[in-house]
Amino acid sequence: MVRTALDQVALEVRNIQKSFGGVHALQGVNFTINKGEVVGLLGDNGAGKSTLVRCVSGIHSPDEGEIIVNGQVVNIDSPLDARNVGIETVFQDLAMVPEFNITENLFLNREIKHKNPILRRLGWLDKKAMEKKAKKALNRLNSRIPSFEEQIYRLSGGQRQAVAIARAVNWGADIVIMDEPTAALGVEQSAQVNELINLISSQGVAVLLISHNMQHVVETCDRAVVLYQGRSVADVAVSEVSKEDLVSLITGAKTAA
């Protein structure tokens, strides 16, 4: 699949700083992602990746710095604020209810109320409308999904990721953050997730990918931003570096040219 990043910045983080007591988790982090681009966010444990993601997704508020979405400085003080400006995060645990079916998980906390005003007041949901939109969202990803009545725990790891990604892009996300999406998956299922990432980026969605898997980064990402001890120390085109170069940047054995 041909993917071309658009010449339009979807997300910029500028001089983001965050401390917890005496621990400086982020110290002036800067980077950008264009629409249709996949950027890997790399770093060793404790480098600040999780803290940065939590700042962008509204779980933490940065102490200093700016988050800019589609050219506008935004205040993100909660996950709802992040969603409202077009940022969706797919966390490693996927944040789904295993006993709920696919449609119920896609509309979790965003259920469509029944059109009938009396039934709406009684709390009835428009299940047909939700299933119709769920099918549309997953068809957009060309996903190999069984019945929409299937409970999440019965799906494969790759299928669960597809549902989580569909839930993110279904709400008009311009930016999708993915936290270790292939960490618990086999080779075939990881390849399916790579296809999904390529597909949504080809549709203009900016993807920020957190991964320790260098092969996954090389196969999927256009650029890599490396954090080291809370600072952004490298921003490189993946096609111009080797996996060994990326590992050296992550460990601090090498600095960006």
As given in the structure block, the two tokens for residue 1 are 């699949």
Identify the band that residue 215 occupies on the pLDDT scale cut at 50, 70 and 90. Answer: confident
H or E element at residue 233? strand 231-237
pLDDT for the residue 2: 46
| Whole-structure pTM value | 0.83
As given in the structure block, the two tokens for residue 44 are 């060793």
Q: What is the pLDDT of residues 156-211, one digit of tens each?
A: 877 887 788 777 777 768 999 988 887 777 777 778 788 888 888 998 999 999 98
Q: pLDDT at residue 140 above 80?
A: no
The whole-angstrom separation of Cα 220 and Cα 243 is 13
Residue 222: what are its φ and ψ, rounded to 5°? -85, -40
What residues are paired with 177 via a beta bridge? 89, 208
What residues are paired with 74 via a beta bridge? 67
Q: How many other C-beta atoms lie within 10 A of the C-beta of residue 69?
A: 20
pLDDT for the residue 94: 64
Q: Which domains does the chain have, with CATH numbers?
A: 1-86+173-257 (3.40.50.300), 97-171 (no CATH)
Q: What is the pLDDT of residues 197-207, one digit of tens each?
A: 888 899 899 99
Q: From its phi and psi, is residue 61 left (phi > 0), alpha (psi between -120 and 50) or beta? A: beta
- Among 144-148, 152-156, 197-201, the least confident range: 144-148
Report which of 257, 201, 253 is spatially closest to residue 234, judged by C-alpha positions.
257
Average of pLDDT values for 44-50? 91
Half-sphere exposure of 146 (CA within 13 A, CB side): 11
Identify the band that residue 114 occupies on the pLDDT scale cut at 50, 70 and 90. Answer: confident
SS3 73: strand
pLDDT for the residue 1: 45
pLDDT for the residue 250: 93
